[in-house]
Amino acid sequence: MSDPQQPAQPEPGAESDAVQGSATDTAPPPAGPSKPGPAAGEPPSRWSIAFREIVTGNAIISVLAVVLALIVGAVMIAFTDERVQEAAVYFFARPGDTFVAIWESVSGAYVAFFQGSIYNFRRPDFISGIRPLTETLTFATPLIAAGLGVGLAFRVGMFNIGGRGQMLIAASAAGWVAFGFDLPWGIHMVVAVLAGMIGAALWAGIAGLLKARTGAHEVIVTIMLNYVALYLVQWMLRTPGLLQAPGSNNPKTPAMKDTAILPDLLGPQFNLHFGFILSIGAVVLVWWILDRSSLGFKFRAVGENPNAARVAGINVKAMYVYAMLISGALVGLAGVSQVLGTVTTGFSSGIDAGIGFDAITVALLGRSTPWGILAAGILFGAFKAGGFSMQAAEGVPIDIVLVVQSLIVLFIAAPPLVRAIFRLPAPGSAPKRQRPIVTKEMEAK
Amino acid sequence: MTTVTTSPSAPVSAALDKTVVVSWKAPIAFAVFTVLAAVLFLAAGSHGEATFKLSQANDVIQLPDVTLSSEVTSWVCVVLMAAITVVSALLVRAKRKVGIWLVVLFAAIFLIGFLTWAAAGSRTPVIPLPGLLAGALSLSVPLIFGSLCGVISERVGVVNIAIEGQLLAGAFTSAVVASAVGNAIMGPALGMIAASISGVLVAFVLAAFSIKYYVDQVIVGVVLNVLVLGLTSFLFSQVLAPNAAVLNSPPRLERLPIPLLSEIPLIGPMFFRQTIIVYLMYIAVAVVYIGLFHTRWGLRLRSVGEHPQAADTVGINVTGTRFWNVSLAGAIAGLGGAFFTLGSVGAFNKEMTAGAGFIALAAVIFGQWDPIKATLAALLFGFASNLQNTLGVIGSPVPSEFMLMLPYLITILAVAGFVGKVRGPAAAGKPYIKS
């Protein structure tokens, strides 16, 4: 396998964004071989410069990627809808029917999506109307935490695909403490959360240690550890005395004790729990680690160029281990918030709910910056909440959310493709001058 | 663990220019397994007998059943394993290499001891060996296709995490096309072709994003897996499930026993009483091996994966070579996906590949990026998971989860360097930007 390398290809200028800690603020000035000089001899107006800065920036790419993915999703909904298919049979006789059917199926699905994720305006009062938004935040809680873990590893030049295994280990450790011990309120919760985070950190630390000691590629090790953790947890779940609920034959744990459950934030009628606050705290913590601490400086130096970091006296191998430990702990927080906040009645081996993989897309969409991940996590939380409501109301399978999410990441990873589709100018190119679509974005190592 | 010494027995003049590198890994590994076996078979020993069925009821040549006593077999196996450990230690001390045959012999003895021990402790102490082996091969088929795909694309310099997605796409398309055609012969044939095409389409996306847009190959692979999973699950729920009779009931492939060869005891039913996809797999393994190491195509492919700049300098089109070979690899993986529907289960189901692509990836690494070794690794992994099935059926006390874990643990040990030396193609995962 290869050397650790920068996973996402940042746009020229993305680094300045990253240091400021925000991916979505003002577009960076065009970098690279910029030719600010006018092509025709007269200086361009201020408006045209501003316009060019907006259309060549990162934010516009992210927005257009989301739009593009939603369009593809709409096409899929329309083509598989039965009403559309029925109307399409007599398309040439009455084409209007087909368009009406398409409009009804797509708009119905996306309206249900909105009502399930942000605000349900069919409800009489504000309290029940705003409930979908709290659902979105509940879904976003583990996505933010796990996304931070994956994103932090990205910044050190590592790829943590082991979110699933780390979440399972965290859930088992936290769950074991939460249902197996009797401790006073508060202390029990803290001990359970810490147990889960430490368990996941150690699980991820295996990959970091093996990379540091033997050069084993962390992608392979974390993928393999996912399955090892899955089978380990499955075995523990069906073995009495370990995780299985006493007196039950199902591979499921007993319910968590009340003293360990994360408290509700907005009262019992909403699902939003204290884990959301923990995730926000993690965002601030990761921002501080990456942008304000010397450890974060070393992390970023290793991520940019491990050889240069070594020459500068940074212990690169130790950084790999520390990064995986912290990354695992953050992913572990996602697992903990699942078992202590969202599903408190006992869990089975499906508790990770694909969050470990969703976290990769969250981290990529957030460009591995803490605040970007916060925004991306909330967006994907909305996708999940809206996807369920879309499935319930319109019968559109929730799997479409996977398609839309993965398309967003693909489009964001390839800005030249999005620019080509929307005919945006490439950054650094003078207006009305033909340049190759592929700008030199990354040097081969 | 590795000691570099000059051979003391050689003359002084020869000792100056001849160094022998010996590794103590093999004896240490042997010793560990011997101790493990001793603890397992003797301390936690099971009493009774285990019967190995060597023939099926309809075989022409009937072999008698073999019945082994658990205690005797355990002792014999442990003693033999200890002897092999001593032999290997002596070999290493004498600065000689531990041959692969010794490892194979050791593994075989361990396996016999383990099977006897596991079967004797279970409810029905009978192990149907032909079924075990044939099942192992059929579980290995998609793994082998997937690992061939991985070998080709990594050898040409593109890390392919998307094998899982390619298998899934192949399974989906072959089920739909074969059902839609319906004919018992044309259906599966067209289904297999469609499966290959769908694998190529997934590979096109991987190749386009990683080669043209220089997106990190691991990212594209991971995202493609999610994309294919989402697409197939969406279409399954929305289109296939309501119209299962028309779109999701493919005719299964017939078994085609090869005359004479299929009557060989034990080996015959395993290798030569299979479907056309399995025979295609044999051909694919041979073609990929010969192609990679004995043709101009293979030399170019490997040079692009090892040192693209050098390859470019001598006039090889790096981008084109990468693009078309990744696509070819996709076609192979797609065909492997067809085995899930046409070869074994029949109908398509959500997430039916269940991580086979990742085991195939493990086989690529454990097989050191060599088609033959990767095939053997895939067979080993298939055997491990079918052994777990068989032990579950006969009611063995061994927790099945640990058998299922085995391929992944072996892979971790392999990449960490405990099992042989693992080194992939030098330029795999790195985009080539012509300057």
**A153 domain residue, yes or no:** yes
pLDDT of B379 over the 70 cut? yes
| pLDDT tens per residue across span B407-421 | 788 778 777 766 555
State residue A16's pLDDT score: 40
Sequence-ordered alpha helix ranges (H) in A28-80: 46-55, 58-80
The four Cα atoms B142, B145, B149, B151 give a dihedral, to 10 degrees, of 110
At residue A404's C-alpha, the angle toward residues A402 and A407, to 5°, is 105
State residue A204's pLDDT score: 95
Q: Which residues pair with A346 in a beta bridge?
A: none
CA distance B235 to B221: 21
| Cβ atoms of B433 and A440 closer than 8 Å | yes
Q: What's the ipTM? A: 0.79
Closest by Cβ to B215, choosing from A214, A232, A413: A413
State residue B144's pLDDT score: 95
**A429 domain residue, yes or no:** no
Range of the domain at A346: 139-383
Identify the closest residue of chain B to A229 by CA–CA distance. B405
Number of domains in chain A: 1
Report CA-CA distances (Å) from B55 to A181, B130, B267.
Answer: 54, 6, 10
Question: Number of A:B CB contacts under 8 A?
Answer: 160
Q: Which residues of B touch A387 (CB under 8 A)?
A: none
State residue A88's pLDDT score: 79
**A154 domain residue, yes or no:** yes
Q: What is the CATH number of the domain that holds A306?
A: 1.10.3470
Q: Taking Cα atoms as reference points, which of A171, A146, A141 lies closest to residue A347?
A: A171
**A75 domain residue, yes or no:** no
| Cβ atoms of B206 and B162 closer than 8 Å | yes
User: Contact A210/B415, CB-based, under 8 Å?
Assistant: yes
CA distance A65 to A71: 10
CA distance B384 to B378: 10
Closest by Cβ to A410, choosing from B209, B233, B358: B209
User: Contact A414/B215, CB-based, under 8 Å?
Assistant: yes
Closest by Cβ to B214, choosing from A159, A397, A442: A442
Q: Taking Cα atoms as reference points, which of B23, B26, B41 lies closest to residue B77?
A: B41
**A301 domain residue, yes or no:** yes
Q: Which residues of A touch B308 (CB under 8 A)?
A: 444
Q: Taking Cα atoms as reference points, which of B190, B206, B194 lies closest to residue B325?
A: B206
Identify the closest residue of chain B to A407 by CA–CA distance. B227
Domains, in order of start, for chain B: 22-121 (no CATH), 141-415 (1.10.3470)
Q: Would you give per-residue pLDDT tens digits along chain A (445 residues)?
A: 344 444 444 444 344 443 333 333 444 444 444 444 444 456 677 777 777 766 666 778 888 888 899 999 899 888 888 778 788 778 888 888 888 888 888 888 888 888 888 888 888 888 888 888 999 999 999 999 999 999 999 999 888 988 999 999 999 999 999 988 888 888 999 999 999 999 999 999 999 999 888 878 788 899 889 989 999 999 999 888 788 888 778 888 888 888 888 888 888 888 889 999 999 999 999 999 999 999 999 999 999 999 999 999 999 999 999 999 999 999 999 999 999 988 888 888 888 888 988 898 899 888 889 999 999 999 999 999 998 888 888 888 888 888 998 998 888 888 888 888 888 777 765 444 444 444 444 444 4
**A216 domain residue, yes or no:** yes
Share of chain B residues as helix, strand and coil, in percent rounded to the nearest 5: 70, 5, 25
State residue A138's pLDDT score: 92
State residue A394's pLDDT score: 82
Other residues' Cβ atoms within 10 Å of the Cβ of residue B241? 15
CA distance A360 to A381: 14
State residue B45's pLDDT score: 64
Quick one: angle between helices B371-394 and B276-294, nearest 10? 150
- The secondary structure element, H or E, covering residue B413 is helix B400-415
Q: Is B167 helix (H, G, I), strand (E, B) or coil?
A: helix
Q: Quick check: A402 contacting B, CB < 8 Å?
A: yes
The four Cα atoms B207, B209, B210, B213 give a dihedral, to 10 degrees, of 130
What tokens were used for A359?
Answer: 């976290």
User: Which pLDDT band holds residue B7 (cuts at 50, 70, 90)?
Assistant: very low
**A37 domain residue, yes or no:** no
CA distance B114 to A196: 36
| Cβ atoms of A150 and A369 closer than 8 Å | no
**A341 domain residue, yes or no:** yes
